[in-house]
Structure 1
Amino acid sequence: MGNMPGILYDRAGLPGGAEYLRRRTLVSAVLFVLLAVAAVVGGGEIAARRYMEETAAQARTTLRLAVSALEGHLKRYEALPALIADQTLVEELVQQPHDEQLRAQTNAYLKEINSLLTSSDIYVMTPDGETIAASNYDGPLSFVGENFSYRPYFQDAASGKQSRFYALGTTSLKRGYYFGSPIRVNGDVRGVIVFKVDIDGIERSWTGGESRIFVSDPEGIIFMTGSPEWLYSTIEPLTPERLARTEASRRYADAWLRELPVRRGSYAGHDSMLISQNATEREYLVVSAPMPDAGWTVNVLMDTGTVRAQTQTTMAAIFLFLCLAGLFLAIILQRRARLNERIQLQAEARNELERRVAERTADLARVNSRIEKEIAERRLTEKRLRQTQADLIQAGKLAGLGQMSAALSHEFNQPLAAAKTYAESAAVLIERGRTEEASDNVRRISALIDRMASISRHLRNFARKPNEKLGPVALDEVVRDTMEIVAARLNAADARIEVELDEHLPQVRAGTVRLQQVLVNIITNAADAVEGLENRVITLSANRNGAKVEVLVRDRGPGVASAIRERIFDPFFTTKGVGRGLGLGLSISYTIVKDFGGNLTVADHPEGGAVFRIELDAASESTLEAAE
């Protein structure tokens, strides 16, 4: 048998033949490249996170060792000032500060203690801050006679506290950590003793190595570092407030403070710091730990260059592996293609093809028979559908006529009742000679007639132009006009309505008359629900919710049963007695709100009664400008 018309076959009997194989190979190659790129990128990210985590663990270990070394070094001297302050010789000196013999004895004693404890300096001051004895009394930079009352450690100790402070010495120009203690005699503070601890030894141990360690104060100024070029640099902006606080305590004497060129960032999920130096920028992993007692923050920086190099090496390895895998897969596919080509040349393939064509021809004949039957059935179905459609159109016309009649009945009944009330009231007022009030009632009747004309015109326009343009509507004005229409019905039901409108409520996208019709229908239903009950309060509130405006009407009636909640907006569905409604008010209201692009729903309030929620779009600025 020959090939079927309209389909091209190759020698293997496959549609497209070699072209199909080429396309499949091309698609496979593209997919492989995409998967390779994803694998390289994903593998690089995983490797970077792993190497960064290892580097961070190493940095945290270094940080713990640095903090432990600092804390251990400082704790050696923490209790010493209070011990020396209790010595008899020191107490006698602060009571007789001008006794030269006591001064000499105290100077020698302090020098001996300082040499024994390997501290930097020990000195005693009077309550006014003047140094009267010091361990360096015989040196060229003796503290004796110097006044350090401006130092925070002296001020705290003079007030009776154990003090701490770190600074650059104004006399010695050497950095140190100061421990201060009050010297009490009979319970009164008569002086202050201070230990200055040298920190250069610890700092020297930080030089070299893979990490960079530095200590910063609360202002971000580097006070200790294994990199001398960073000393007295700040990792935070040098604001006037920071400079003022630093200069007030003269913490760094006359040292030149400068900002370190630093940029904060992150790499592989860890905080990093980029520091520019010598026209180059290097990235470091940052781990920090505070020392609250000392007022320091210890920072350890690890260069991320090694991590990036390792990550690139890993990505290259993944890429090479994928290339080898792709090459191996290409060889396999090529061999398979050649094998298929040889099979295509065999005669059995042609015979198999002809057999399949015969089977498919028989299948097509059966399918054609079924299709002819289905066509006949569908033609009959279409004929019935057209008949049913004509019947539905006629029913739709009747339903539309019923809705329009119900709308007119709902919308004209209330203004007519109000106009009758105003007319009767005007007659009484004229009889009593109160013509001004009667004129006001006549104006109200005229306004109601205008409203009825507007409603009639709106319904006529609605019938002619279904796609009526909407515009911005002031909700407070619509509510005010609605209250006038429903006033008579509320009085008849002895109900009271509370209006709660948001002060900054925007205009909504709607039609004035139709929106008023919706509110009249819902408030009238609420009056029907509370009539005859003890609590006859109805609440109308409105507020903005994002780009929407929500209008809520809540009554204190029996609520809406769940069994009828889904049907309450259906045409001709009503829960009222015979002769009290057509069941179209809520259906019409639902349709109107949908035309506005909004939504109308009903739910039961947790404290009782039903809540009707009208959700409308807030009028945008462009809509307002177009309306103007």
Structure 2
Amino acid sequence: MQSVRYRLVLAICLIPALLYVVIFQGGALATRSYMNEASLQASSALRLAVSALSGHLSRYEPLPALIADHDGIKDLVAHPNDNSLREAANLYLKEINTLLESSDIYVMTMDGSTIAASNYEEPTSFVGQNFSYRPYFQEAAKGNQSRFYALGTTSLKRGYYFASPIFVENNITGVIVFKVDIDSIETSWRGGEYKIFVSDPEGIIFMTGSPEWLYSSILPLNAERLQRTQASRRYAEAVLKPLPIKRDSLEEHQLMTISTAAGREYLVLSQYMPEADWTVNVLMETASVRAQARTTIVAVVLFLCLAGLALAIFLQRRARLEERMRMQLEARNELERRVEERTADLALVNQRIEEEIAERRLTEQELRKTQADLIQAGKLAGLGQMSAALSHELNQPLAAAKTYADSAAMLIDLERVGEARDNVRRISGLIDRMASISRHLRNFARKPNEKLRPVALDAAMADTLEIVAARLKAADADLEIDLSDTPMVKAGSVRLQQVLVNIITNAADAVEGLADRRIHVSAEHLDSKVILTIRDHGPGVPAAIAERIFDPFFTTKGVGKGLGLGLSISYNIVKDFGGSLSVTNHAEGGAVFRIELEAATVAQEAAE
């Protein structure tokens, strides 16, 4: 009995020491373990955020250099006071900006003055503004590709800037700048499990899913940092303020407590993006991590207490073996039940963590597969568009050649050799025309290399009639032409014929089977422009499709009767000529296609 009491006293003395070790040392171990798991989860979110930012910016990085090589842009920086060049550049930049879904595109001379911009029509237009103080301009003016992020001083919109020098005869004559909107990525960070923000080298937060942190600094705002920031006017007139934080660490893990967030503690993971000179930070609350650690410690302490109780019962069993046997059995069963419950809870938590990791890995695999599918789809779309366009442009000359060939055979049978020879000559001309079309056909999103020259409208119309004569006859259409006293236009002969063939053929399709099958072609000279009008007496263009009529592969014809490429190709050809193509409905019925081209000057005609 004395031995039992001695052991009981010894056990009671050892219990506090054991609890101290479990609570403090075990608590630190459990916290470190759960913190490692939380760090793995947060690192996945950090990789996804960095990947999204890098992918968004890499789409636009090569574009400034490509547009800087545009002839219109080079001509503008060489002659910045030419209003016509400036107007053309403004329209071109606006169209490219809309197509690429960027924020702004603008061109600056070497003194930093903006001479053309995609937002030239807006109240916050950059035209006339001077941005020579921006680092992206200073770097590009030295001949380098540059990048910069800032709050716009004119638009007051944040963005990422790509700048490229404009070379003319190996001399830097200007700078072109792309501004990319980053609000869409920032919006996706709001309301998530993690708090994400991006800071600059001075520690100022300029992208965050928590708006109250915007333009706050996680580093001390000393005079040197403020001077560097103000020199580049990176944040315009925005008020910079320090973010009240307290930093701490748990072994290799960095911790941060933010006073404005109700004193919450966060696990911080950061990754520097050298190409953008950003630091992406992911914050994860540690409250759940510490709660898990406390739960584990409570479970262990409870287990030890129960084990101590079992030991005490065991030590007293010898003295009261018979009367305590039943109590020992009940206590043991209760202990096993509680241990099983705690073990099951821990197993469930581990299973959920493993499932979440597996789900994140599957998401990354699906993202890589989607990217590969998009690249392959883009290749197939480009190949399909080129082959369809070539087929569409050659069908009409082939149909005309077939008609002449059949006619020539009949004339030979009738021994009208002279007329048959003339048909053969026409077939040869059509074959030459098809060869010329195949040489000049390019993707209509790019500017062709064909040199524009003076072209006589009556000669182009005469060649066009050779191609469309069979279609007009089949539709029983009456073509009325009035091109008297019209000067020559600045265009490409073969491609102008392509435009006329496409529009007149569409007009024949529109009037076929109607009572009034007239098609009017007329031209007038207005200042330096020649307006060519083609009107039919068909049903006209419905308002619902007027905005889409020039889109590639858009057609209202039945299956197998059209590819929807004719008007799209014609629109881009006329645009390459420096003109415009539009369609309206006539007040008395029918569609009116209006082609506006530049009139060829006397000097140009003489040079040709």
Structure 2 Cα separation of the partners of residues 339 and 328 of structure 1: 14
Q: CA contact under 8 A between 1:234 and 1:259: conserved in structure 2? A: yes
Shift of 1:271: 1.0
RMSD value, Cα: 1.6
Matched, 1:250 2:233: yes
Pairing partner for 2:161 from 166, 178, 181 = 178
Pairing partner for 1:87 from 57, 70, 87 = 70
Matched, 1:198 2:200: no
Matched, 1:152 2:154: no
TM-score by length of 2: 0.52
Q: Which amino acid aligns with 1:336?
A: R
Matched, 1:36 2:19: yes
SS of alignment partner, residue 72 of structure 1: helix
Q: CA contact under 8 A between 2:4 and 2:316: conserved in structure 1? A: no
Structure 1 Cα separation of the partners of residues 75 and 221 of structure 2: 46
| Aligned residue number for residue 300 of structure 1 | 282
Matched, 1:310 2:292: yes
Pairing partner for 2:259 from 259, 270, 276 = 276
Q: How many residues align structurally?
A: 323
Shift of 1:335: 1.1
Q: Which amino acid aligns with 2:294?
A: Q
Shift of 1:34: 1.6
Q: Which amino acid aligns with 2:27?
A: G
Matched, 1:221 2:204: yes
Pairing partner for 2:39 from 46, 56, 80 = 56
Q: CA contact under 8 A between 1:262 and 1:274: conserved in structure 2? A: yes
The CA deviation string for residues 381-420 of structure 1, in whole angstroms up to 9 with x for no partner, is xxxxxxxxxxxxxxxxxxxxxxxxxxxxxxxxxxxxxxxx
Matched, 1:286 2:284: no
Structure 2 Cα separation of the partners of residues 268 and 82 of structure 1: 47
Q: Which amino acid aligns with 1:289?
A: Q
Pairing partner for 1:189 from 155, 168, 172 = 172
Superposition map of 1:7-156 within 5 A: 18=2, 21-156=4-139
Pairing partner for 2:314 from 328, 332, 347 = 332
Superposition map of 1:139-538 within 5 A: 139-267=122-250, 269-277=252-260, 280-338=262-320
Q: What is the percent sequence identity of the aligned residues?
A: 65
Q: CA contact under 8 A between 1:41 and 1:315: conserved in structure 2? A: no
Q: CA contact under 8 A between 1:63 and 1:288: conserved in structure 2? A: yes
Q: CA contact under 8 A between 1:45 and 1:268: conserved in structure 2? A: no
SS of alignment partner, residue 43 of structure 1: helix
| Aligned residue number for residue 561 of structure 2 | none
Structure with greater Cα Rg? 1
Structure 2 Cα separation of the partners of residues 22 and 76 of structure 1: 79
Unaligned runs of 5+ in 2: 323-608
Shift of 1:79: 0.4
Shift of 1:151: 0.5
| Aligned residue number for residue 537 of structure 2 | none
Structure 1 Cα separation of the partners of residues 72 and 19 of structure 2: 81
Q: Which amino acid aligns with 1:194?
A: V
The CA deviation string for residues 346-366 of structure 1, in whole angstroms up to 9 with x for no partner, is xxxxxxxxxxxxxxxxxxxxx
Structure 2 Cα separation of the partners of residues 326 and 256 of structure 1: 62
SS of alignment partner, residue 38 of structure 2: helix
Structure 2 Cα separation of the partners of residues 316 and 40 of structure 1: 8
Structure 2 Cα separation of the partners of residues 25 and 309 of structure 1: 34
The CA deviation string for residues 210-253 of structure 1, in whole angstroms up to 9 with x for no partner, is 11000000000001000000000000000000000000000000
Q: CA contact under 8 A between 1:48 and 1:268: conserved in structure 2? A: no
Q: CA contact under 8 A between 1:123 and 1:133: conserved in structure 2? A: yes
Q: Which amino acid aligns with 2:318?
A: R
Structure 2 Cα separation of the partners of residues 339 and 130 of structure 1: 100
The CA deviation string for residues 462-519 of structure 1, in whole angstroms up to 9 with x for no partner, is xxxxxxxxxxxxxxxxxxxxxxxxxxxxxxxxxxxxxxxxxxxxxxxxxxxxxxxxxx
Structure 1 Cα separation of the partners of residues 14 and 174 of structure 2: 83
Q: Which amino acid aligns with 2:256?
A: M
Structure 2 Cα separation of the partners of residues 267 and 258 of structure 1: 28
Q: CA contact under 8 A between 1:49 and 1:269: conserved in structure 2? A: no
Shift of 1:24: 3.6
Q: CA contact under 8 A between 1:167 and 1:177: conserved in structure 2? A: yes
Q: CA contact under 8 A between 2:64 and 2:177: conserved in structure 1? A: yes
Shift of 1:323: 1.3
**Deviates further, 189-198 or 44-53:** 44-53
The CA deviation string for residues 584-605 of structure 1, in whole angstroms up to 9 with x for no partner, is xxxxxxxxxxxxxxxxxxxxxx
Structure 2 Cα separation of the partners of residues 338 and 268 of structure 1: 51
